Amino acid sequence: MNFTERLRSSQRNQNSLLCIGLDVDPQRIPNHLQAFPEPVLEFNKRIIEATYDLVCAYKLNLAFYESLGERAWKTVIQTLSFIPKDVMTIGDGKRGDIGNTSEQYAKTLFSDFGFDATTVNPYMGFDSVEPFLRDLEKGVFILALTSNTGSKDFQRLKAGGKPVYEKVASAAKKWNTKRNIGLVVGATHPKELRSIRKITPDIPLLIPGIGKQDGDLQASVRYGCDKSGELAVLNVGRSVMYSSAREDFASAARREATTMRDLIRRYQEEFFR
């Protein structure tokens, strides 16, 4: 089963397009967890226990774990062990380098950590992406148009009469021979999201920028999903994880995640059923 099929199966089994970003800032963890030997790990465990039935994926931004120093490897692996097998895991490292270096990145993310998918920067071209594509069961979300304001600096520049992000989307479509490529497109760019979906009608789109970045959720569902109302992975992080700083943080996270999942479902019903 290729990654696209695996993702679609997860979204159907979970009845959800929601992804929670476990990008944990140790300074924002509720104070009572500081008494635990591994506060970040305990925080992740409780968030996952409270929300795993509401999501199709969890995304770990690796920078938040690498900054933990020597504890990083253990924290990532143990966090992943808490996540049910039916839920996809995304290692958000935005890697991409010359071929032999990318091979090592791919080995770390897919074999050592065991992520189901990762994010890759295509700036250095196909040979920097290819090592991530070898296992058809593993997903590769290529950066197309990111949610940050600086995305305009390069991603919107014209190349051959088309913006670079459209060139990336077209290249991803060409490279997707194993049906394991997706694209990262920010929810802060709904018009462009629609054009990218037209170029790539049947590949997964990882859509960050919802919540604290004020991305357009309704447009993200409408233009980010494929014709079946699936294959959009709608990522929410801080607004779920930090919905409470008190001892009720896990139940508060569940309430926020439930609200977001149900709103996504409502838009799915409106646009696709």
- Return d(Cα 4, Cα 206) in angstroms, integer: 12
Q: Report the DSSP pairing between strands 57-61 and 18-21.
A: parallel
- Return d(Cα 188, Cα 196) in angstroms, integer: 14
Q: Are 265 and 216 in contact (CB under 8 A)?
A: no
The domains located in the chain, with CATH, are 3-272 (3.20.20.70)
Other Cβ atoms less than 10 A from the Cβ of 8: the count is: 18
Catalytic residue among 45, 85, 94, 191: 94
Q: Report the DSSP pairing between strands 205-207 and 232-236.
A: parallel
pTM, two decimals, is 0.96
pLDDT per residue rounded down to tens, the chain (273 residues): 999 999 999 999 999 999 999 999 999 999 999 999 999 999 999 999 999 999 999 999 999 999 999 889 999 999 999 999 999 999 999 999 999 999 999 999 999 999 999 999 999 999 999 999 999 999 999 999 998 889 999 999 999 999 999 999 999 999 999 999 999 999 999 999 999 999 999 999 999 988 766 789 999 999 999 999 999 999 999 999 999 999 999 999 999 999 999 999 999 999 998
227 has catalytic annotation: no
